Chains A and B, each alone.
Chain A
Amino acid sequence: MSREGITRRTTLRTLSEQELCALHDGALTVLAETGLTFEDPWALAFLAAQGCRVDEAAGRVRFPRELVEACLAQAPRQFPLAAPNPANSLLLGGDRLYFSHSSGMQTVDLDTLEPRRPTRQDYIDCIRVLQALPHLDHLGCYPYFGFDDMPDTLAIPAGVALHMQYSDKHQMTACSNDAELFTFQMAQATGHEIAGTIGSSPPLTWSCGAITSARRIVEAGYALTTVDGAMMGGTGPATVAGSAIVSTAEHLGMVVLAQCLNPGHRMLIGHFSAPLNMRTGSPAFGQIGASLSNAVFNQLWSRYGLPLSNGSPGYVSAKGIEFQAGYEKGIAAVIAALSGVNSMLLHLGVANELSAHPAQAILDDDIAGMVARFVAGEEMSEDALAVDLIQAVGPIPGHYLSRPHTRKWWRKEQFIPATADSLSYPEWLDGGKKTALDYARDRLAAILAAPEQRFTTPSQDADLERILADARRYYAARQ
């Protein structure tokens, strides 16, 4: 038994087969002629042994087309990811759609909208909210980049431990700066399956750290998520198509490495591209260009068939939890969902990657619910068509409100957002003219007022503390 997610019945297709072939050929041409930089001597030797043309001095790997296509064919189209609670396990791939969350460096004060460093309690509260939200299917790498005075090097292991203690949903973890040496031990100590995430360094480069992490993830048998990050006009061409080729080439290079290391290894392909803000030099999250990029990338990779994730719907340029954040996330979520994504980062993020807040996640959960309802599509069974009922009710004064058919269908057909105001106008006035954020704050308070649930045993907590202490010593010794 696993989380069903949403089975997509409605799909957006904007590219012709010829256009998809052009993107594919472009990526294979780049891989074969320019190649990728792999900043890791082991990877250079390993890929040379697989038949790649390697320039060791330049750290450059050129990939034969046949090898890339053979490795692509080996990667699974669908695979399970176990959660501590089996009811929260995932089946990634195909037409399934799941939602996850983005992250922020800091939290934000809801009254002043000013960011501040989260405390450990903020971090725990955020996980508890993510655990409670019905459309948040699995946890992402981390809600915040760190908390309190925790050294940045310890932030990932410390966050993973808190995820394990306060959530029974599947957790995808970031692998960076040797964090996986400790997070994998935590997974073994608790019996949790985690997935490991690495990021490319666009354009066309895999860093030594990412390669080392990828190798550890594959050898440990955990699913590998590769995330690109070309900023259009900066670290990728300004065009959507050109940046899609850069991102695709980077992923394909890592597909070759992982599949040669372990044929059939589970991989999730994460797209995280956005236009470059040509005034500030930051990613222009929330712009429609990011959605165009997802749409193009998703259509190409749906053709390959590997499970896909999109990161940019979870990030917005809006600085506050308000209208701009809503439309930036809403439009991005619809387009990503329709164009074939399997796991979408949506909840939590505010103000690019600068901040995040659980109240935003509560609002985002309604976006997820609305999008999920739309992509699930319409049933066209005889009962749904309701011709017999329509004839039985007839014109006015007939109505459908008291009919068993209505009670049977309306909850399934409608999605009712938890934080959208749907009162009559006088009720809204009498109720204090609440905004969506007010409703989100109410819900946040209710979730946090519930008894705190722990999902680890005292003995597992002791193991997590011991591993964290090892990590603390390891990073202290490296400084």
Chain B
Amino acid sequence: MTTPDILENLAQSVTDYDPEGAARWAGEAIAAGIDPLAALAALTDAIRAVGDGFACGDLWLPDLIAAADAMSAGTAVLEAEIAARGMRQQGLGVVVIGTVFGDIHDIGKNMVATLLRAAGFVVHDLGINITAAAFVDAVAKHNAQVLALSALLTTTAPEQKKVIELLREAGLREQVKVIVGGGGITAAFADSIGADGYDATAPGAVKLARRLLGV
């Protein structure tokens, strides 16, 4: 099978919402000697197409999230290879994202992560129920330019403040823009905890990240 065929199948596994297929074709790409960054770009192109479809109303949340699941499955295989080869991903900027400690809701966070990837950011999704220390470690490890914190519950929203305080204590606050979101978050709350930005929607979060980084 030719390189274009493999990359096309890899991309199609995202638009077909097929995580197993995405992981399999990512493995095929590596086995065929394809540059893992090129394979990752094929996945990004595919998720961008899905994101565009979502933005214009042709696709819906279940499509977006299922495509994101497929992309994540392929990305995991490729990122391991990229790390093993000591390579670096290129993009609009590096984002660390996760749902704060005590909160296990991830639908909104996944939407934001997907649309950020579709926009061309390199996204490190830490998952749910992430401690403040884990966020700070990830910012340092990935040299992140944006830290995106999600909290659905008003009871877990104060965790976002805790992360920002810990960033300051670690001396990392100036190197990273912190954006917050989630069902219980408001612009006023974001201001009060010293976040750099807030938006109520996933597409708005992408615009916010671009504006903060000037990209």
Interface residues of A (CB under 8 A from B): 396-397, 399, 401-404, 406-407, 410-411, 424-427
Q: What residues of chain A lie closer than 8 Å to B66, measured between beta carbons?
A: 401-404, 406-407
Q: What residues of chain B lie closer than 8 Å to A402, measured between beta carbons?
A: 17, 62, 65-66, 68-69
Question: Can you list 6 contacts pairing A with B, beta carbon distance less than 8 Å?
Answer: A410-B60, A410-B62, A424-B200, A426-B200, A427-B201, A427-B204
Q: What residues of chain B lie closer than 8 Å to A425, measured between beta carbons?
A: 200
Q: Is the CB of A401 within 8 A of B104?
A: no
Q: B107 on the interface (CB 8 Å rule)?
A: yes
Distance in angstroms between the alpha carbons of A403 and B60 in the assembled complex: 13
Q: What residues of chain B lie closer than 8 Å to A407, measured between beta carbons?
A: 17, 62-63, 66
Q: Is the CB of A401 within 8 A of B201?
A: no
Please give the distance in Å from A418's CB to the nearest CB on chain B.
11
Q: B28 on the interface (CB 8 Å rule)?
A: no
Total chain B interface residues with beta-carbon distance under 8 A: 18
Q: Is the CB of A401 within 8 A of B200?
A: no
Centre residue among A401, A406, A424, A426 by max chain B CB count within 10 A = A401
Q: Which of A396, A404, A424 lies in contact with B17, CB distance below 8 A? A: A404
Q: B125 on the interface (CB 8 Å rule)?
A: no
Interface residues of B (CB under 8 A from A): 17, 60-63, 65-66, 68-69, 104-107, 128, 199-201, 204
Distance in angstroms between the alpha carbons of A424 and B204 in the assembled complex: 11
Distance in angstroms between the alpha carbons of A410 and B62 in the assembled complex: 9
Distance in angstroms between the alpha carbons of A403 and B62 in the assembled complex: 8
Q: Is the CB of B200 within 8 A of A427?
A: yes
Q: Is the CB of B61 within 8 A of A401?
A: yes
Distance in angstroms between the alpha carbons of A425 and B204 in the assembled complex: 13
Please give the distance in Å from A410's CB to the nearest CB on chain B.
6
Please give the distance in Å from B87's CB to the nearest CB on chain A.
29
Distance in angstroms between the alpha carbons of A407 and B68 in the assembled complex: 14
Give 19 new A-B contacts, CB below 8 A, not counting A401-B66, A402-B66, A410-B62.
Answer: A396-B105, A397-B104, A397-B106, A397-B128, A399-B106, A401-B61, A401-B107, A402-B17, A402-B65, A402-B68, A404-B17, A407-B62, A407-B66, A424-B201, A425-B200, A426-B199, A426-B200, A427-B201, A427-B204
Distance in angstroms between the alpha carbons of A148 and B201 in the assembled complex: 49
Q: Is the CB of B200 within 8 A of A396?
A: no
Distance in angstroms between the alpha carbons of A51 and B69 in the assembled complex: 76
Q: What residues of chain A lie closer than 8 Å to B128, measured between beta carbons?
A: 397
Known: A396-B104, A407-B17. A401 touches B62 (CB 8 A): yes
Distance in angstroms between the alpha carbons of A406 and B200 in the assembled complex: 24
Q: Is the CB of B65 within 8 A of A401?
A: yes
Distance in angstroms between the alpha carbons of A401 and B62 in the assembled complex: 5
Please give the distance in Å from A439's CB to the nearest CB on chain B.
13
Distance in angstroms between the alpha carbons of A410 and B64 in the assembled complex: 14
Q: Is the CB of A406 within 8 A of B106?
A: no
Q: What residues of chain A lie closer than 8 Å to B60, measured between beta carbons?
A: 410-411
Please give the distance in Å from A401's CB to the nearest CB on chain B.
4
Distance in angstroms between the alpha carbons of A402 and B105 in the assembled complex: 14
Please give the distance in Å from A403's CB to the nearest CB on chain B.
8
Distance in angstroms between the alpha carbons of A424 and B183 in the assembled complex: 11
Distance in angstroms between the alpha carbons of A401 and B114 in the assembled complex: 14
Q: Is the CB of B104 within 8 A of A399?
A: no
Please give the distance in Å from B115's CB to the nearest CB on chain A.
15
Please give the distance in Å from B112's CB to the nearest CB on chain A.
14
Distance in angstroms between the alpha carbons of A411 and B60 in the assembled complex: 10
What is the chain A residue whose CB lies nearest that of B69?
A402
Distance in angstroms between the alpha carbons of A441 and B17 in the assembled complex: 36
Q: What residues of chain B lie closer than 8 Å to A426, measured between beta carbons?
A: 199-201, 204
Distance in angstroms between the alpha carbons of A397 and B107 in the assembled complex: 10
What is the chain B residue whose CB lies nearest that of A406?
B62
What is the chain B residue whose CB lies nearest that of A410?
B62
Q: What residues of chain A lie closer than 8 Å to B201, measured between beta carbons?
A: 424, 426-427
Distance in angstroms between the alpha carbons of A426 and B105 in the assembled complex: 21
Distance in angstroms between the alpha carbons of A364 and B204 in the assembled complex: 32
Please give the distance in Å from B189's CB to the nearest CB on chain A.
14
Distance in angstroms between the alpha carbons of A465 and B28 in the assembled complex: 68
Q: What residues of chain B lie closer than 8 Å to A403, measured between beta carbons?
A: 62, 66
Please give the distance in Å from B12's CB to the nearest CB on chain A.
16
Distance in angstroms between the alpha carbons of A364 and B133 in the assembled complex: 54
Q: What residues of chain A lie closer than 8 Å to B17, measured between beta carbons?
A: 402, 404, 407
Please give the distance in Å from B35's CB to the nearest CB on chain A.
29
Distance in angstroms between the alpha carbons of A406 and B105 in the assembled complex: 18
Distance in angstroms between the alpha carbons of A402 and B66 in the assembled complex: 4
Q: Is the CB of A399 within 8 A of B107?
A: yes
Smallest CB-CB A-B distances: 9 pairs = A426-B200, A402-B66, A402-B65, A401-B65, A406-B62, A402-B69, A397-B104, A407-B62, A424-B200
Please give the distance in Å from A446's CB to the nearest CB on chain B.
13
Please give the distance in Å from A47's CB to the nearest CB on chain B.
59
